Structure formats: structure tokens, C-alpha cells
Structure 1
């Protein structure tokens, strides 16, 4: 029976309690069943969770116009915030955001939409197009930045992207600059304290952990293309002891293309176990001398899988593809391709300990192969150079050691020195405490200290210039300097106790009787 107002009669279940259908309620609440209430509570919980997640992820900001940019250029952002620049937008001024992210919620700057990269043009009026000051957990990607007035004159200390840490003594964390196009910063001028992408620290007691500068293109910049620097970090030699202080950790500089810089291409300073790899540095040091890639004030830097070329200029000036600079220990330069520079590699004779240069290919470096810097100094020690392939083509007058430079405390083993014409050792090539053992020589007399010279054609597969801007991930272009089955280099090497597991191309290196040069011979296996 239906009562008045359409209410159901009160019923009891077998336990004597009121059933769901039978419970009476007030006129206001009776229209909501328990199921509806449960659904409502669930929705509230869901919305609370969504809100909590959104708070954790931060807010989204969009830059679609100059007005948007002007509003956000110095905004204080919160952990998890995302700043999206619309592709195709062009803005002027300096983007100098503030605020810090968190380990699980970095602040990100990205591009969205279709079309050209969003462009920030500082017009030579600001220190940088992008400036991050005293921040943590920031990730910048997808931008195009430029900073010049177009006059061609020196416009001062300008940068494309600058990360500046100053006056705060603490541990800074997680800075990422990825997939940005930095170009036309200042004019083509020298000096090291300006340039494309720089991360700089001016503190009394601070350091940085987790720095990644990857997949960027940097070209036509005054100063240095990519660089790190710290006023409070470094390596100090105290007699036989070495003391390091505030070295940055987890520094990774990789897959960048750096072209036509006023000074050096890439400089790694004040770091512990930094890795600089898969970069191409072309035509660096156009306004002032400087090696293309080098480390300074660092411990355990690995410079590997890079191509450096076109660093040419005045004779005798620093213009090599690579450099093991001073105030460093445990520097490793391996698996690189140097060509058409003034020389392959510099080695500084100020305080410099345990330098290893191995499994590199040098082709047509024009004035020399190795340059020992600071001729009047003699603190460098434990320099081991092995299994490198050096190729000098016709028409080049090249000395292995630059004229008037003395090699110091170095061991050369299992290397190939190939000259299409005649090669020389340089006026001071005999060296000091320098020994050669088991190297191959073509069109150059064995080094005076050589204990087991090999004088024969190396038997390469198809020796030719590998070209420029090659894929350093596959390194297929370098296979021309692999060995034929009848090569005298096969199994002719002496055992190097701390040799790597693979060669320049990734082929395995046997512990005993390795081949000579940078590339191991692999027999063809038929299934």
C-alpha cells in the first residue's frame, strides 16, 4: 500500500532493523538514498584527489604573446608549474623567472603547438635571453634564443641562457637545458666569461648536483659555446696530495652541436666525474685562441665520442680539438674524432696527473698532433697515450709534437703514426721522461725511445677522410680505418692492464694481444 505523499511503508528485515527501502527520513533528506549518498561522497573524494594531484603537479601557464611574456617574465613559480611557449611566437626581452621546484615536481619550460620554435630575443639589451638565478629543479627545453643588437661590435658580457648561482652557500640541484637553439649572441668576440649556455657559481661554499646540458644547437656566439664555472670549487695540488673542494656532481654535457664560437666550444670546470660526450664542435675560437673541448679544475672528467674540427688559426696558438688542461686529475679522453684542427690534443704541463688518451682518431690535424702546453713547467705526470690512430694526408707539414714543445712523463703504446708524406717529431720531440713502445710508423722514423718499432703499412680497409658532422653514435663513417684480415696491426699490441672493454667502434678489445690503433679487427663469422 502506498501512503500519502508516496512514502513507502516501514519494513524490517529479518534482523529486525530497518531496511534501506523502509527507513524513514526527514522531508529534506528522504530524497537521497544511501546509494546516492555514497556516490556523492565518492565524487567528493575524487575531486579532492584531483585537486591534490593538480597541486602536486603545479599550474600551467601559457605564453602566446608579448603581453603574456611581459606578465610572466619575472613571475615566482611553484613546484610542478609548467610554462608553455606557443610555437611560432616571438618575444623580446629577458625571461628571468623565479622560484624553485622539488625533486618530484620540477618547474618546466616547454614549447607547445606546431611550427617554429618560440623565440626570445634579448636584442643585446639584457645579460641573457633566459636567466635562472639561485633556483633548483628547473628544466628548459624547446626554445630559440638570441641576444645581439646586430651591430657586429662587442656588446659586453652577454649570454644566451645563463644559470647563475650567487651569494647562497648551499647545495643546488637539478638544472636541465635541453633541445634549445642558441644563436647570434653578441658578435664574434673572444673571452671566456660570456657565450651561449653557461652555468656559473659565485659563492663561498656551494656546489651543484645534477646538471644536464643536452641536445642543444649553439652557433655564432661571442665567447664560449657551453661552459661551467665556480668561484668556490676546484682541485688543489699540495705537494703529493690533491685536495678537491665543492666539485659539481652528475654533470652531463651531451649531443650538442656547437659551431662558430668566438672562443672555446665546450669547457667543463670544477666537476667530479663529469661526462662530455656525443658533441660536435665546429670552427671554434674564431676571434681568440682556445681548444675546442677541455676540462679544468676537475677530477675524473670523461671526454668521449665527440667530433671536433675546423679550429685553425695562427701557428703555435691553442687551437686543438681537445685538451687535458691543468689543475686536473684522472682525465680520460677517448673515442673521439679530431680532424682539420691545428692539432689533435693539448696536454698542459702545469699540475696535471693521470691523463689517459686512448682509442681516438686524428685525421689531417694540420700543424701537430700533440701540444704540451706551458713549456717552462714540469708538474704534469702519469700521462698514458695508447691505441690511437693518427693520419696525416699529403701536402701537410706536421710534427707529432708541436715545434719547441717538449713532451713530459708520457708513455706511448700501440699507436699508429701514418704520414702520407714525411713526418717529423718536432725540434724537442725526444721529450723528457717520455717512452715509446710497440708503435707503428709510416713515413716517419721511429721515436728515439722506441723499444719495439713496427714499420709497415697498417692495412686499412679503405683509408679516406671520414668527412664532417658524422654520426658519433654509430661512428660508421670511421670504419674506413678498420683493419683488413692481413693487416700487420692485428694481434700486434702489447697488453695494457687498464685497457677498456671496447674500441672506437664498440668492438671488443681482448685483454691480451690487442690490435694496434683505435679499431680492432673483427673476423667475419658465418652461421
Structure 2
């Protein structure tokens, strides 16, 4: 590690000397704000001094490793494709740590910027009391137009004590905000990757943008990948007002059971978004009092695809597909695809919430339209409480009922008697599914299968709980220094081909 840091430091110094743009250095122990700031020996001391500059094309701002910087780091950068602005660490040791003030709404903010990369920092924002809307990193464009190519890479964001209550403003590790009174503003090609978000309340990362379809100006081409989220009780990754978002290889796990009983939350889900692709993610241990699914395809969204994800041991089920039925600003929930996902041991809610211990493996709520649920493996294990909800699928009302939902070639396994309850939803089509277990309310399925030798041999005979057998359909990978599992596309597709 020492050798790697030394080499990195030398490369940074060489790059600064060779680059047409300036390099600014900040050293909390040995710096002085009266210095020039343009060499390590002439470093500034405080984040207040940084607020006086706008970083221009090719310029760098470097914070010294092993140092703690109190206050708020404000970043405004005007980079270009050829000469981006870089905010990074220099020297040896741990990541430089930015610690917000007691009442800081953010510890670091990127504001009205283009072509800026922020990386290799630790961010902490813990006040004496929880503060609504408190975040670690705020990425904001307002009355600006299009903020292009912001990249956030390899940050550690921890111990942010926002509010646990969504209606009060919540709180987050990363908060992405776009809007404006005079100039409509949005992000294009925002990337958040390789970050570790730890002990942040209420959420890990969430957006705030244009959600009303009468005033629609979505951020585009967002990428969220390879992030580790731990000990976050609320929502994990929630793009809002976005188009063409890619969410991949993220992990959310070990969520503490601390939310008030009024609160609903889930792992990864879009709201007011079009063309969202959520694949190759893992969500486990979600314990929200309401919902608590691994994944959610939410309303005012079209063309959402959720596939090749792994959901396990959540209080809620694998997936929520919902639409509130409100059409004043919403286009509803249309053309969603949920396919090739694996759910093991979900729906284990141990206590009553707003509607008993409700936790179906698949919950369809409200007037969603034209949804395809295809080739998923839902493995429900035995539950400890007699009152536990053992439902496989519930499709119920939320200002209306679902229409034209297709359930095709899914594996539904239940260790205990389970049920289907489609209530008043219309034009449901069940085709070629495997119903392994005992069910009440099983829907009409002309090509239904009630046994499968491949599943028995490769899954149930290996381990009735499903983990060991279904692990053969997954790859191990390192995210945030931890070993995690993601669904292997070729393996699960081959498995379904063999099932036939």
C-alpha cells in the first residue's frame, strides 16, 4: 500500500507539472491560506480558501492524504472533454477526510460544473442532531442548463445523520439535485462509481429533479455502478426525473431496522424515469417497515427493465411493480420488464406494519400496464412466524388495478403453502410457469408445470433453502473490498433452457 501511494503521489506531481492547468494543494496541518497554493510546499490550509476559486480546464485541486478538513468543500469546475477538472488526493496514507460542520446540509458540493472528476475522498457529515436533507455529497445544477460529464469515483461517504422520515426531507449519502426558476437544468452523463456508502440516513443516493410530465426536463445517460451500500435503513439508489439510466453491479446490504413505522423504502428503484436499466445488482437484509423489497419498478415511469439481479433475505419480497393511479403529473407505469432475477428467502417480515405482515414475493399495486415478468426464480423458504405472509404474488389496488400483466416461464417455489391473489386486476396471462409447492388461488395457466427434475437435482437436493444450488448461477466479485455475488447471465439462461 505504501509503495502504491508513493507511486500515485509521484504521478500526480508529474501530471501537475506537465499540465497546462494549475494544481492547487490543500494541507490542513502544514498549509497556510496566505500561500500561493500551487505547490505542496505552498499549500493552502482551509476549505474556505478553496471557495474563492473556480477550477478551469485542466486544473486540479488536491487534498493531502491523512488529513482531516473541517467545513464544506465547494467545487465549481469548468472543464472540457480534452481538459477535465480533477479533484483528488495527494501524498501517502488514508484518504483525505472532509467533515461537515454541525449544521452543514452537505460536506462536499459540486455545483454548476462541467467535466469534473471527484475521487479518493472520505466524506463525513454528522451533526449533534439529525437534520432533514443532510447529505454527504451534493451534486447540483440550478439555473445552469446542462451540466455535463460529472464523475464521482472511489469515495467513502459515511455517518450522515439526516432525518429518518421521508416527508421531512430524509437524508442521504449522495443527493443529486437539478432544477431552476429561470433556466431549466439537468445532468448529462453523470457517473457515480466505486463508492462505499456506510451508515447514512435515511438513504444512500437519491435524486431530486423534474418529475411532472407537464414540465419534463430529465437528466440523461446517468451511470451508477460498482458501489457498496451498507447499514443504510432507507432507499438505496433512487433516480428521479431521469432518462436512460444504467444501474449495475451495486450492492446494498445489512440495513438496520430503525425506520419509524410510517416509512416505506426499498433497495433500488426509479421514479419518474424513462428507459431505466437495472441489472447485475444485489440487495439483501432490507428491513423497512413497509415495502422493503430488493427492487421496485415505480410509477410515472416507462420502459423500466430489471433483470439479472439477486434479491435475498429482505423483509419485503423480490419486486414491487406499482402505480399510484394519479394522472395529474404522471404517465403511469408502462412497459416494464422483470426477467432473469433470483430471489431467495425474501418476504420474511417478522412484525406487523400498516397492513399486517404483508410481504408477497411479487407485489403488483395499482394500474400498471403491459408488464412482463419472465424467467425469474423465486425461492420462498419456510418462515418462523405463523403470522408471516407466505404469498407468492399479490396484485391489488392503488387507485386502480393492473392490466395486461404477463407472467411467463417463472420458477415459483414455496417451501410452505403459498397463494396467488390477483384481486380485480385484468387481462393477466400466466404461461408456462413452474409451480413447485402447494398454492391456493393458483391462476389459470394452460402450460403450467408442477414439478421439474432439473430444479430438484440442482437446487433442492443440494440445499432446500436454495442458496448453494442457485449460487452456481452466480459469479463472485469484489465490490468495496467485499466479496459479493451477481447473477451470471449465461448461466441463468442456460439453466432455463435445461429446465425445459
What TM-score do you get using the length of structure 1 for normalisation?
A: 0.73
Contact 1:74 1:97 (C-alpha < 8 Å) held by counterparts = no
- TM-superposed CA distance for 1:158, in Å, is 1.1
2:87 equivalent to 1:109? yes
**Whole-Å separation in 2 of the counterparts to 1:410 and 1:59:** 58
Deviations 1:435-484 (A, max 9, x none): 111000111338322111101142352344549xx99983589xxxxxxx
**Whole-Å separation in 2 of the counterparts to 1:105 and 1:466:** 48
2:450 equivalent to 1:455? yes
- TM-superposed CA distance for 1:99, in Å, is 3.6
2:188 equivalent to 1:209? yes
1:236-315 to structure 2, matched below 5 A, reads 245-284=216-255, 286-287=258-259, 288-314=263-289
Of 356-365 and 158-167, deviating more is: 158-167
Which of 1 and 2 has higher RCO (CA within 8 Å, sep 6+)?
A: 2
2:307 equivalent to 1:319? no
Deviations 1:302-337 (A, max 9, x none): 0111111111243xx221111111111110000000
Return 5+ residue gaps in structure 1 as ranges: 1-52, 237-243, 478-502, 523-527
1:411-426 to structure 2, matched below 5 A, reads 411-426=406-421
Identify which of 500, 503, 507 aligns with 2:490. 507
**Whole-Å separation in 2 of the counterparts to 1:515 and 1:280:** 24
- TM-superposed CA distance for 1:394, in Å, is 1.9
- TM-superposed CA distance for 1:125, in Å, is 2.5
1:353-368 to structure 2, matched below 5 A, reads 353-366=334-347, 367-368=359-360
Contact 2:112 2:141 (C-alpha < 8 Å) held by counterparts = yes
2:363 equivalent to 1:371? yes
**Whole-Å separation in 2 of the counterparts to 1:184 and 1:402:** 37
**Whole-Å separation in 1 of the counterparts to 2:116 and 2:445:** 53
Secondary structure of residue in 1 paired with 2:83: coil
Contact 1:124 1:155 (C-alpha < 8 Å) held by counterparts = no
Query: Are the structure 2 counterparts of residues 297 and 188 from structure 1 closer, same or farther at C-alpha, using a change threshold of 3 Å?
Result: closer
- TM-superposed CA distance for 1:416, in Å, is 0.4
The residue number in structure 1 matching 2:24 is 61
The residue number in structure 1 matching 2:37 is none
**Whole-Å separation in 1 of the counterparts to 2:89 and 2:457:** 47
Deviations 1:172-212 (A, max 9, x none): 10111110000111256232553111210122522221100
Contact 1:307 1:472 (C-alpha < 8 Å) held by counterparts = no
The residue number in structure 1 matching 2:319 is 345
The residue number in structure 1 matching 2:122 is 144
**Whole-Å separation in 2 of the counterparts to 1:294 and 1:225:** 12
**Whole-Å separation in 2 of the counterparts to 1:131 and 1:476:** 31
Query: Are the structure 2 counterparts of residues 447 and 211 from structure 1 closer, same or farther at C-alpha, using a change threshold of 3 Å?
Result: same
The residue number in structure 1 matching 2:393 is 401
- TM-superposed CA distance for 1:521, in Å, is 4.2
**Whole-Å separation in 2 of the counterparts to 1:319 and 1:447:** 25
Identify which of 294, 299, 306 aligns with 1:333. 306
Secondary structure of residue in 2 paired with 1:163: strand
Of 187-196 and 360-369, deviating more is: 187-196
Secondary structure of residue in 2 paired with 1:343: coil
Contact 1:234 1:246 (C-alpha < 8 Å) held by counterparts = no
**Whole-Å separation in 1 of the counterparts to 2:451 and 2:322:** 32
**Whole-Å separation in 2 of the counterparts to 1:460 and 1:251:** 42
1:506-525 to structure 2, matched below 5 A, reads 506-507=489-490, 516=496, 520-521=497-498
Identify which of 146, 166, 186 aligns with 1:171. 146
Q: CA RMSD in A?
A: 2.9
The residue number in structure 1 matching 2:377 is 389
- TM-superposed CA distance for 1:371, in Å, is 1.5
Secondary structure of residue in 2 paired with 1:128: coil
Deviations 1:136-169 (A, max 9, x none): 11110000011112x4x3223211000111123x
- TM-superposed CA distance for 1:227, in Å, is 1.8
- TM-superposed CA distance for 1:54, in Å, is 6.7
Secondary structure of residue in 1 paired with 2:75: coil
**Whole-Å separation in 1 of the counterparts to 2:488 and 2:75:** 43
Deviations 1:240-289 (A, max 9, x none): xxxx9322222100111112224211101222211001111124484232
**Whole-Å separation in 2 of the counterparts to 1:424 and 1:452:** 19
Name the count of aligned residue pairs: 419
Contact 2:308 2:340 (C-alpha < 8 Å) held by counterparts = yes
Deviations 1:63-121 (A, max 9, x none): 22155234224422221111122211111100013341122111111122322111010
Contact 1:220 1:259 (C-alpha < 8 Å) held by counterparts = yes
What TM-score do you get using the length of structure 2 for normalisation?
A: 0.77
Deviations 1:464-519 (A, max 9, x none): 4549xx99983589xxxxxxxxxxxxxxxxxxxxxxxxx94232788xxx864xxx
**Whole-Å separation in 2 of the counterparts to 1:417 and 1:411:** 15
Secondary structure of residue in 1 paired with 2:46: helix
Query: Are the structure 2 counterparts of residues 75 and 278 from structure 1 closer, same or farther at C-alpha, using a change threshold of 3 Å?
Result: same
Secondary structure of residue in 1 paired with 2:335: strand
